[in-house]
Amino acid sequence: MAYEQEALNAEIARRIFDLRTKAGLSQRELAERIGTSASAICRLEDADYEGHSLFLLKRIAQALDTRIEIHFVPAKVAPHRARTAARAPGPSPSFVRRD
């Protein structure tokens, strides 16, 4: 369970970083768009950070013209099968670009 949580934290951090940099925004610019500090964005982009809130992630998604999708998969399915079964965007929260 701890490994899954660490992997999820790292994935969220990576996705925030990727979306922010793809949008051409600095941490400070993204922070200004969502009403927080650059250090808060820095923490969110840290793979070891465990304090992600859905509220803040939704604000980030909106600022980056994306939305969040959350998928629930059976807990008893082997992790690699769960990822394959739920691979619409993935078994974890994902940011999806609005077109």
Residues 49, 53, 65, 95, CA torsion sign:
positive
pTM above 0.85, yes or no: no
pLDDT for 4: 85
pLDDT per position as a tens digit, 2-51: 888 899 899 999 999 999 999 999 999 999 999 999 999 999 999 999 88
How far apart are alpha carbons 57 and 73 in whole angstroms? 21
CATH match for 2-97 among 1.10.260.40, 2.40.50.140, 3.40.50.150, 3.30.70.20: 1.10.260.40
